[in-house]
Structure 1
Amino acid sequence: MRTSILRSALPASLLALSLVLTGCGGGEEEKKPASGETSSAPEPEVPATWPLTGEETDTEVELDHPVVVAKIDNSKSSAPQVGLGKADMVVEELVEGGITRLAAFYYSRLPKEIGPVRSMRASDIGIVTPVDAVIAASGAAAPTIGRLDEAGVKFFTEGGPGYFRKQGRYAPYNLFTSLAAVGKAAEDGKNERPADYLPWGTPQDLPEGAVATTIAADFGRHTTNWQFKNGTYVNTNSFAAEGDRFKPDTVLVLRVDVVDAGYRDPAGNFVPESRFRGGGQAQLFHNGTVVEGEWSKKKLSSPLKLTTAEGTLKVPAGKVWIELVPVDSAGGSVTFGK
């Protein structure tokens, strides 16, 4: 063969070198993985995050207590509110007479003193069930108790663990409780992490928004005012003590339909229910800007979904105050400015 003739014509020294190089090259071939083996690198560990803020933590997040939601009065009579600054998240909801009440969410830490604690509403079902939270409240009207029981919502009321009347205040604004005691009573022996309340992301995930450094969320007789200062939003008419205010990184406004809860309060006033299912307009305020979008929930217990025309609207991880503002036809409004 032609190849054999050409090789035999090489000088002996070159032929020997060729054989040596050939032998070396063959020894350097990489060993192929055996059948069933993989050569891919191990996947990096996903950092743990808190369900109510989306923030990363080195602390254990699977705890032997559920999320605890304290119903806190939000009127001048409640001043000063105690423990609000320790909340992970706050939802503001309409009650009778055009005033509001706070559903303050606690999970990462359970303060020993919270208040003044007030009563529950049917609106709370849609607020607390997405994370299977328990409620700490003063009580509720019989129709509301029935609705809560039907929805499987667990709650603790006056006379339960941790409740006490605070000296120097007058009823009904003197009822306080220890969430540490409530959380202990709600333990079920299962260390589990609740579901994320919001679709968490980063500031880089947000679409470009309009400038909005002031916000006014009008519920009827009460307007909650916000101003963006030093990276957080400050509630300029808060009823909490100066050092105990909740300062959110994000204010999320959700416009909701308001319906008749089906009964009257002791004074004969219409009791509103914020219908926290279906969907409506959403406004996400972060870093002094506002992004417009839509919110949706299939059922009261469904997770909250936020979208824009571009897709999912993610909330930057951090503390969030959610305003459940009635739609315009129900007497609510939202204004913002520079």
Structure 2
Amino acid sequence: MRHKARMRRTALTTAVLAASLSGSLTAGCAHSDGDDNRAPQHTATPAAPPAPGPQVAASGSPLVVKIDNVPAARPQNGLDAADVVYAEQVEGGLSRLLAVYATRLPETVGPVRSARESDLELLRQFHRPTLAFSGAHRKLLPQIGKAPLRAQSADQDPSAYFRATGKAAPHNLYLHPAKLLTSAPGRAALTTGYRYGPAPSGGTPTAARTLRYPAARFTFTWSAERHRWLVAMDGTSTAMADGARVEPATVVVQHVRIRDSSYRDVLGNPTPYTETVGSGKAEVLRDGRSFDASWSRPRATDGTSFTTAGGRRMNFAEGQVWVVFAPAP
């Protein structure tokens, strides 16, 4: 009898420990319903587990990083090395950046933040891009796992990320791109649909252009000396942590439909969805001038083409491109 009693006590203890361990693991993997100002509690994206170590970038497969853009996140790292930077509106009227790297990989990029639903549509134009992000809404994670991209969150490859000192979480998560890709894939990865070449005739001389979201502001000022647009965000000149200026050669104001998605943040604010498939009006800034244009992207797998008011393909200047998604009038 004593032996049977000991066996029952042992079985009961084992069951309690198992339940406790299961509860601990579940609690440790919980993810907030939205993107808030607390340190993220990541949930691994349900995608195939990454191969150990960095992967060789196939031609046509760029690195794309979701970058924080609130004042507490600045100065950022690595924006100056991006080939294309997309600026989008997020919850509360704030902004966030999506940087595309194809021709070179900086030493560090960040701060890295969470992905949004409309990012998946935007990234369909690239061939299986590597997406670096901090996490996502728990209901969005399965969509990211099914998307035709290589999802590399901080949970999936923690060795590629680090927490920097000097900034409070969640504005201090940074990426070592070389931990994800052994080399930059090259210009062939930029399947954006953009065409580069001489400027068209006409245009309006433009010294500066300011774009506003409800709680964010971008200003692009032309520097004839540097032959680039100098970027300022929320009234402050944009420079990286190492002092490098962000100086795109071309700035695109792309008027798109921005609607509420089915997701909300922890405060109940709806997450905006930026529609990048379709067509609409645009404004292209290059060489100190502004050109009225139209944009077209018939399918998610297509790049975006731009045409002048006269119906000709709009050429961009060689160098970095910034695309600011502005609400269509």
TM-score w.r.t. structure 2 length? 0.74
Residue deviations 1:298-337 (CA, integer Å, cap 9, x gap): 1222111111233222223221111111223xxxxxxxxx
Q: Does residue 80 in structure 1 map to residue 75 in structure 2?
A: yes
Out of 163, 166, 170, the residue aligned to residue 165 of structure 1 is 163
Q: Tell me, in whole angstroms, the C-alpha distance in 2 between the residues paired with 1:201 and 1:164.
A: 36
Residue 33 of structure 1: aligned partner = none
Q: Tell me, in whole angstroms, the C-alpha distance in 2 between the residues paired with 1:301 and 1:294.
A: 19
Residue 262 of structure 2: aligned partner = 262
1:202 deviates by 1.6
Unaligned runs of 5+ in 2: 1-55
Unaligned runs of 5+ in 1: 1-61, 329-338
Out of 201, 211, 235, the residue aligned to residue 217 of structure 1 is 211
Residue 271 of structure 1: aligned partner = 271
Residue deviations 1:178-233 (CA, integer Å, cap 9, x gap): 0111124x99xx999325323323224x2310111211111221110110012100
Q: Tell me, in whole angstroms, the C-alpha distance in 2 between the residues paired with 1:77 and 1:179.
A: 22
Q: Tell me, in whole angstroms, the C-alpha distance in 1 between the residues paired with 2:187 and 2:84.
A: 19
SS at match of 2:168: coil
SS at match of 2:281: strand
For 1:179, give the aligned amino acid: P
Out of 142, 149, 152, the residue aligned to residue 153 of structure 1 is 149
SS at match of 1:131: coil
1:63 deviates by 5.3
Q: Spell out the pairing of 1:49-198 with structure 2 (5 A cutoff).
A: 64=58, 66-132=61-127, 133-159=129-155, 160=157, 161-184=159-182, 193-198=188-193
Q: Tell me, in whole angstroms, the C-alpha distance in 2 between the residues paired with 1:130 and 1:227.
A: 29
Identity %: 29
For 1:209, give the aligned amino acid: G
Q: Tell me, in whole angstroms, the C-alpha distance in 1 between the residues paired with 2:146 and 2:284.
A: 33
Out of 197, 201, 206, the residue aligned to residue 202 of structure 1 is 197
Q: Tell me, in whole angstroms, the C-alpha distance in 2 between the residues paired with 1:107 and 1:195.
A: 7
Q: RMSD of the TM alignment (CA)?
A: 2.3
Would the alpha carbon gap of residues 191 and 228 (structure 1) be closer, same or farther in structure 2, given more than 3 Å must change? closer
Residue 313 of structure 1: aligned partner = 314
For 1:154, give the aligned amino acid: R
- Between the two proteins, the alignment pairs up a number of residues equal to 263
Do the aligned residues in 2 keep the contact of 1:200 with 1:317 (CA within 8 Å)?
A: no
For 2:165, give the aligned amino acid: Q
Higher mean displacement: 172-181 or 206-215: 206-215
Larger radius of gyration: 1
Residue 38 of structure 1: aligned partner = none
SS at match of 2:143: helix
Residue 295 of structure 1: aligned partner = 295
Do the aligned residues in 2 keep the contact of 1:84 with 1:244 (CA within 8 Å)?
A: no
Q: Tell me, in whole angstroms, the C-alpha distance in 2 between the residues paired with 1:88 and 1:307.
A: 21
Residue deviations 1:78-117 (CA, integer Å, cap 9, x gap): 0110111121221111111111101111111212211110
SS at match of 1:244: coil
